[in-house]
Structure formats: structure tokens, C-alpha cells
Amino acid sequence: MSTRFSCRTVSSWKKQEEARSVAQELGLPPWWLNEQASVYISGKDDPGKRRVFDHPGLRVTAASPRHIFAMKALAARTRDIDDLRLLAEMIGVDSAVTAVQICAEFFPEEDIPPRSAAVLQELFG
């Protein structure tokens, strides 16, 4: 009886192993690396992104605060409000107009949903 593993399986194990290592090193929860938000990430360049891990075969980058702000502003979920306030302070957002400009910077093809516009107006006037 032989056990055969595909390259994809080995690659997946290696990714999980490296992710656990990064989690321990940075004090992150073990599930920190996942692809749940990947569908919401802009295809535009994010000059503020930073590399958090680099290893042969695996490079992990973190989105910039501006990019995360744009994602959360468009989602405008109740649980994002505190994050939006903190991110706005970090990146200097002081008006709804500036907030919308940042959204357009990363998601130029997206219309601002009415709920998002209302949340941004409420937060930043």
C-alpha cells in the first residue's frame, strides 16, 4: 500500500505550517491566514501594503490601512464602525468626501451603496 500526495496537498500543508509559525511569532490566532476576505480585496495596486512574511514559495502581504478602510467603508457593517473610526484616525480621514475618495481610489468601478454613504456621512459629516 502506498500513500501518494499531490503537490497541491504538500503545498497546502507547507502553507499551514508556515502560517502557524507566523502566528506564533506575531502573537496572532492560528486561523489568521485565510482567504475569506480575498473576494473583497481591490485589484488596484496598494502601495502601502507591507510584507509580513517572506519564505521560498510563500509570501504574505498585509493590506494598507487605506485599503482596509475602503473595504470596511463599502461594507459598512455595524461591527466595522469602530474599525472605521480607528483607521480614519490613522490615515487622516476627517470628512465623508475624503472617505468616499479613498473608496474610489481602491474600488473605482464600485458605486458607494446607500447604506455605506449614510454610515460615512454619520461618522465624518
How many Å separate Cα 122 from the centre of its chain? 23
Provide the domain count of the chain.
2
The residue segments making up the domain with residue 116 are 37-125
Q: Which range, 6-10, 27-31, 56-60, 91-95, is most confident?
A: 91-95
The confidence score (pLDDT) of residue 48 equals 86
pLDDT of res. 39:
55
Query: How far, CA to CA in Å, does 90 sit from each of 38, 53, 85, 107?
Result: 23, 23, 9, 20
Does residue 17 form part of some domain?
Answer: yes
Encode pLDDT of 60-116 as tens digits: 888 899 999 999 999 999 999 999 999 999 999 999 999 999 999 999 998 999 999
108 and 123 part of one domain: yes
d(CA 101, CA 95) in angstroms, rounded, equals: 10
